[in-house]
Amino acid sequence: MGIFDFLKGEFIDVIHWVDDSRDTMVWRFEREGHEIKYGAKLTVREGQAAVFVHEGQLADVFTPGMYMLETNNMPIMTTLNHWDHGFQSPFKSEIYFVNTTRFNDLKWGTKNPIICRDPEFGPVRLRAFGTYSIRVADPARFLTEIVGTDGEFTMDEISFQLRNIIVQEFSRVIAGSGIPVLDMAANTADLGKLVSAEISGTLSDYGLSIPELYIENISLPPAVEQAMDKRTQMGIVGDLGRYTQFSAAEAMTAAAQTPNSGMGAGLGMGMGMAMAQNMATQAAGQTVGPWGARPAPAAPQATAPVAAPPPPPPVEHVWHIAENGATKGPFSKARLGRMAQESTLTRETLVWTPGQDGWKAAGDVMELAQLFTILPPPPPPPPPGV
């Protein structure tokens, strides 16, 4: 190779990066001897930034575009300027490409339950999980604070630290929100924004930003969820006595259908003995009930009707009130009536009761609207001359 071909090779150099890994955040342009040639073309594509490091110090950050590395104001020493060293420059330079696009669908979740104080259930343990997205907002700070001299920095190297930051801020926000557990599903979007805002300050020190954070689910321990399911079933059935009878009948049916079960055999034996006793006593003019034979009933006589037992009293609703971002209660309907008379409860006051879909104004709830219509009218004016 001739001297002109060699010099031509020293003038021409192309520096660029095409990422196909989907998880690389920083990639160092590998050049033998870390030498940047005079007249080299630096191509920075959209969604990228190039950080120029010269002699171990951060020199400049290049945004998307094409650059000719040949101006005198750039901190670059080329091999041609040091021909007396045999084209071996004593000044070493590096270029780090930083991916500034969003890294989406990153997972986060609570490793251990979070203990919170619920206004209705008292102390509860909560778990939560969701997704978030992250991007590099300040390439220079991210390179100096996190990456260092790593030639290929991936998302996996920082995702564990990010999850810890998210869980810490989520625990603090959820514990201080005062939102009841039953209403958290309706406020996940607002909670996600609060957590994202609290995290932004910490991530800015790393040169990162969190454009989105989603809370997919907030759950209680399995034992508490089962108790809530039982409470829901009782609310649907309504009558506790009927619910007990229904549960006993279901248990007996399940035991009878279970093979080789002692309870099923006992039920079958009892039914067989009852059938045999019924057949034996029918010839003697007796009737058989579920508990054995008894004489045939005599002719019906006029008797006074037996009064039916009164139904169980209805379950009284209790109500919660929202004032200045906090909840108060529970209050009975009678207590709310006194509050309406004292003008501490108005039609615009937000109230909630178990089974109600979210908070509503007291005047929009049919059961409470009558509290504002039964107030006595204003007194009549005094008679003339008084």
Position 181 scores a pLDDT of: 83
> Which of 99, 115, 146 is where one domain is finished?
99
**Region for residue 103 given its phi and psi (left: phi exceeds 0; alpha: psi -120 to 50; beta: otherwise):** beta
Q: Is residue 233 part of a domain?
A: no
| Phi, psi angle pair for 210, to nearest 5° | -120, 95
Question: Do 45 and 114 belong together in one domain?
Answer: no
Position 347 scores a pLDDT of: 84
Closest CA to 214 of 234, 194, 241: 194
Q: Is residue 278 part of a domain?
A: no
> Which of 69, 84, 99 is where one domain is finished?
99
Q: Is residue 250 part of a domain?
A: no
Cβ neighbours of residue 322 closer than 8 Å, sequence gap 6 or more: 328, 349, 350, 351, 352, 359
Rounded to the nearest 10 degrees, the angle between the axes of helix 222-237 and helix 240-257 is: 110
Question: Both ends of the chain: CA-CA distance in Å?
Answer: 126
Residue 342 vs residue 160, higher pLDDT = 160
Question: Do 14 and 72 belong together in one domain?
Answer: yes
Question: Do 68 and 117 belong together in one domain?
Answer: no
Position 88 scores a pLDDT of: 38
CA distance 137 to 49: 10
Question: Do 174 and 210 belong together in one domain?
Answer: yes
What is the arithmetic mean of pLDDT over 124-139?
Answer: 92
Average per-residue pLDDT for the chain: 76
Q: Kind of pairing, strands 48-54 and 14-15? A: unpaired
What is the arithmetic mean of pLDDT over 15-19?
Answer: 86
Confirm if 322 and 352 have CB atoms less than 8 A apart.
yes
What is the arithmetic mean of pLDDT over 375-381?
Answer: 64
Q: How confident is the model at residue 185 (pLDDT cuts 50, 70, 90)?
A: confident
Q: Is residue 266 part of a domain?
A: no
Assign residue 180 the CATH number of its domain: 3.30.479.30
CA distance 153 to 148: 9
Q: Is residue 244 part of a domain?
A: no
**Per mean pLDDT, which of 123-137, 279-293, 340-354 is the most reliable?**
123-137
Question: Do 141 and 43 belong together in one domain?
Answer: no
Q: Which domain holds residue 185?
A: 103-224
Position 72 scores a pLDDT of: 43
Lowest mean pLDDT segment, chosen from 30-34, 96-100, 180-184, 291-295: 291-295
Domain count, the chain: 3
Position 259 scores a pLDDT of: 63
Question: Do 8 and 112 belong together in one domain?
Answer: no
> Which of 99, 131, 163 is where one domain is finished?
99
Lowest mean pLDDT segment, chosen from 27-36, 293-302, 362-371: 293-302
Question: Do 20 and 77 belong together in one domain?
Answer: yes
Question: Do 86 and 113 belong together in one domain?
Answer: no
Lowest mean pLDDT segment, chosen from 49-63, 156-170, 250-264, 327-341: 250-264
Confirm if 17 and 48 have CB atoms less than 8 A apart.
yes
What is the arithmetic mean of pLDDT over 279-295?
Answer: 54
Q: Is residue 234 part of a domain?
A: no
Assign residue 360 the CATH number of its domain: 3.30.1490
Q: Is residue 252 part of a domain?
A: no
Question: Do 217 and 107 belong together in one domain?
Answer: yes
What is the arithmetic mean of pLDDT over 12-39?
Answer: 76
Query: For residue range 307-346, what is the model confidence (pLDDT) as tens digits?
Result: 677 776 666 678 888 888 788 878 888 888 888 888 788 8
pLDDT exceeds 60 at position 168: yes
Question: Do 73 and 164 belong together in one domain?
Answer: no
Position 304 scores a pLDDT of: 59
**Per mean pLDDT, which of 206-210, 220-224, 354-358 is the most reliable?**
206-210
Q: Is residue 382 part of a domain?
A: no
Query: For residue range 47-103, what is the model confidence (pLDDT) as tens digits?
Result: 999 998 877 788 888 999 988 776 443 444 343 343 343 333 434 678 899 999 999
Question: Do 110 and 217 belong together in one domain?
Answer: yes
Question: Do 23 and 118 belong together in one domain?
Answer: no
What is the arithmetic mean of pLDDT over 373-378?
Answer: 60
3-state helix, strand, coil in the chain (%, to 5): 40, 25, 35
What is the arithmetic mean of pLDDT over 146-163?
Answer: 88
CA distance 103 to 42: 25
**Per mean pLDDT, which of 41-50, 241-250, 315-324, 370-379 is the most reliable?**
41-50
**Quick one: which H or E segment has residue 140?**
helix 139-142
Query: For residue range 92-107, what is the model confidence (pLDDT) as tens digits?
Result: 678 899 999 999 999 9
What is the arithmetic mean of pLDDT over 272-287?
Answer: 58
